[in-house]
Structures are given as structure tokens and as C-alpha cells.
């Protein structure tokens, strides 16, 4: 059985408080984007091993046992004693990009196992499992535009449709560690609350919708700022870094003809429709 975990972008990201457990409270809007990995599972015929992971496409750092698809499988296996499985993961979403690729894979693995082995878990139960695998992982269970708070795990649905808009996602060849990016933040409540800004016309977002990580990440990696500026030069109605970087997205009007975007070799570029 196969599934296609998709990326997310953050529309605004305010880091509001540091918590006693070291994590941070934040406010953001998660919006799904059709930039997808492919994830396929089969029951494994050789029963001497619990799982075999075959990776294709973009490289993922770390051991196979630490891969979030494996961690998702082992999590459900602990409770439901699943058969051994063979996993094929084709990575197309770059890692360390703020696009939630690893979290998406984990959440889609939970949904896939639920369906393949008819575990009959509800969406709420899947969200609880997902939350243990990553701060923004549970978003990918419903995978619809969502206002998130807490550590990125308390959700309320929002009525926001960017259908028809075009999106460009550009990731330079630099890696931003999410943990390190959080450690450089001075938490504060935003002047313009994201939940309110998002209801305003998209033309106003440029001035009002802010990703707090840009302040600390841009000086360290000026190339990310340059990409954002270039997207505005090319006609984006709104552009921002996603999550803790290093990717930047630009939203373009449905009728806009996105020109050829020429960035340095090694830069990841995706152009699609919302
Ligand atoms: C920044 C975002 O991309 C916004 O969408 C996400 O909140 C990041 O979520 P994620 O990649 O799933 O993050 P995790 O893998 O759970 O956490 C990585 C590290 O980031 C820090 N972290 C993460 C989320 C959060 N709300 N506060 C934090 O301080 C913690 O040091 C943690 O060890
Ligand atoms: N299936 C997976 N896909 C990508 N990364 C994975 C996966 N499993 C484990 N990882 C590890 O997780 C790290 C972060 O990956 P991910 O793509 O989720 O980060 P991100 O782009 O920073 O997203 P986020 O918006 O959640 O911060 C990678 O460096 C990698 O070591």
C-alpha cells in the first residue's frame, strides 16, 4: 500500500514563551502543500527482521532505526504487535527545510498502518500517537489549514483557502538545526496576532505576517534573506521563510506567470499550485 506524505508551510510563526520543559510555545498557521514524498509498505516475508527500510531520492542523515517512519511503526507495533514490514521511502521533500518532511512521513506512516492492518484507530487517537513523534507531527493527521498553538500541537481549524495561488519553494544548500534556531529566539507576543492577520487580504500579509525565526536565521545565513527578496522581486504577493528554515516560499497570484527562477547550483526549487 502506498501513500504520499506532503510538506507544510508556516504562514506566520510567533515564538511566544519559553517553557520550563525547554520547549517553546508558539503560534502559527500550518498550510499543506502538494510537495510530496512517497511511502510504501508491504508485509515482510522474511520474519527474522522486524523491518527493512529502503530509502530513495534525497538523502536523510541518521540511522535507519531513527527514521521517523520506523519510529512510527515501532510505536504502533508496541501496542498492536504488527507483522514485520518492508518500507520504501522516496524522499522528495528536503530535510532541515522547515517543511515538516520528517513529521509528515511519520504521521502518514501511522495512517497507512492503521488502514493496512485495519487497526480502527480514530483521527484523535492517531493525533495522540503523532504528537509523541514530533512537535508538529499531529498536524499531518487531518492535514488541513490549521491554527496551531502550544508547542505546535494544539489545533483549531481555520477557514482559509489559497486555492489557485501558485507557490515557489526554494531551499538553499544550508542546513538550519531547529533546536539551535529555537535557542537563539527571544520569545515575545506578536504585535499583530497571526489569527487576525490571516483573515486580512493577502496583500497586507507582507507587512503584518512575521516569522520570528527570520530575525535570528537571516544574519547567520544571508542567502536565505536574499532568496526571500528575490521572490518579492519576481512578483510574489507574500514571501517568508518556513518554520525554522532554511526554505523560503513565495505565493504568487493565480494569473501570475512565475519567471524562471535562477538560483545557485545545489538550490532546491519547487513550483506548484495550492
Ligand atoms: C518550528 C516548526 O517547524 C514550526 O512548524 C516546528 O515547531 C518544529 O517542529 P519539529 O521539527 O517537529 O520539532 P521537534 O523535532 O519536535 O523538536 C526539535 C527541537 O526544537 C525545539 N522545539 C521544538 C518545538 C517547540 N515548540 N519548541 C522547541 O523548543 C526543541 O529543542 C526540540 O528538541
Ligand atoms: N523520514 C524522515 N524524513 C526526513 N528527516 C527525517 C526522517 N526521519 C528522521 N529524520 C531526521 O529529522 C531531521 C529533520 O527533518 P524534517 O524534514 O522533519 O525537518 P524540518 O524540515 O526542519 O521540518 P520542521 O518544519 O518539522 O522543523 C532530519 O535532519 C533527519 O535527521
Separation of alpha carbons 183 and 176, rounded Å: 12
* Residues 144 and 201 both lie in one domain: no
Of 137, 157, 177, the last residue of a domain is: 157
Asked if 242 and 98 count as a contact pair (C-beta separation under 8 A), the reply is yes
Portion of the chain with pLDDT greater than 90, in percent: 86
Listed in sequence order, the DSSP H helices in 61-212 are 68-80, 101-116, 123-131, 139-142, 178-183, 194-197, 205-208
Cα 13 to Cα 166: distance, rounded to the nearest angstrom: 21
Distance CA 249, CA 242 (A): 7
Q: Which residue range forms the structural domain that includes residue 199?
A: 166-273
One domain, residues 179 and 132? no
Tens-digit pLDDT profile for residues 198-219: 999 999 999 999 999 999 999 9
The pTM (predicted TM-score) of the whole model is: 0.95
CB atoms within 10 A of CB 7: 28
Number of domains in the chain: 2
153 and 178 both lie in a single domain: no
Rounded to the nearest angstrom, the distance between the alpha carbon of 20 and the centre of ligand 1 is 15
Claim to verify: residue 153 and residue 196 sit in the same structural domain = no
What's the rounded Cα separation, in Å, for the pair 37 and 28? 23
Flag whether pLDDT at 178 surpasses 90.
Answer: no
Q: Is 246 in the pocket of ligand 1 (CB under 6 A)?
A: no
Choice from 72, 93, 178 to test ligand 1 binding pocket (greatest atom count within 8 A of CB): 178
- Report pLDDT digits (tens) over 104-122: 999 999 999 999 999 999 9
Domain containing residue 239: CATH number = 3.30.70.890
Digit-coded pLDDT (tens) for 223-270 = 999 999 999 999 999 999 999 999 999 999 999 888 877 788 889 999
Amino acid at each position: 500500500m502506498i501513500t504520499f506524505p506532503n510538506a507544510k508551510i508556516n504562514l506566520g510563526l510567533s515564538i511566544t514563551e519559553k517553557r520550563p520543559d525547554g520547549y517553546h510555545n508558539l503560534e502559527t498557521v500550518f498550510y499543506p502543500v502538494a510537495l510530496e514524498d512517497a511511502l510504501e509498505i508491504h508485509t515482510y516475508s522474511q520474519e527474522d527482521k522486524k523491518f527493512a527500510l529502503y530509502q530513495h531520492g534525497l538523502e536523510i542523515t541518521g540511522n535507519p532505526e531513527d527514521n521517523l517512519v520506523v519510529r512510527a511503526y515501532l510505536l504502533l507495533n508496541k501496542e498492536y504487535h504488527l507483522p514485520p514490514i518492508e518500507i520504501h521511502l522516496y524522499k522528495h521533500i528536503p530535510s532541515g527545510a522547515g517543511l515538516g518532511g520528517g513529521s509528515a512521513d511519520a504521521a502518514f506512516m501511522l495512517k497507512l498502518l492503521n488502514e493496512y492492518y485495519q487497526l480502527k484507530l480514530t483521527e484523535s487517537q492517531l493525533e495522540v500517537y503523532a504528537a509523541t513523534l514530533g512537535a508538529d507531527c499531529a498536524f499531518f493527521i487531518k492535514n488541513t489549514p490549521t491554527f496551531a498553538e502550544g508547542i505546535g500541537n494544539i489545533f483549531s481549524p481555520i477557514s482559509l483557502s489559497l486555492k489557485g495561488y501558485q507557490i515557489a519553494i526554494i531551499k538553499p544548500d544550508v542546513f538550519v538545526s531547529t533546536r539551535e534556531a529555537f535557542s537563539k529566539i527571544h520569545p515575545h507576543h506578536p504585535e499583530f496576532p497571526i489569527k487576525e492577520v490571516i483573515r486580512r487580504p493577502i496583500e497586507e500579509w507582507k507587512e503584518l505576517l512575521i516569522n520570528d525565526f527570520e530575525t535570528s536565521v537571516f544574519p547567520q545565513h544571508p542567502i536565505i534573506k536574499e532568496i526571500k527578496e528575490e521572490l518579492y522581486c519576481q512578483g510574489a504577493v507574500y514571501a517568508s521563510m518556513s518554520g525554522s528554515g532554511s526554505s523560503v516560499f513565495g505565493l504568487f497570484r493565480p494569473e501570475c506567470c512565475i519567471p524562471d527562477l535562477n538560483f545557485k547550483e545545489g538550490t532546491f526549487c519547487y513550483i506548484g499550485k495550492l
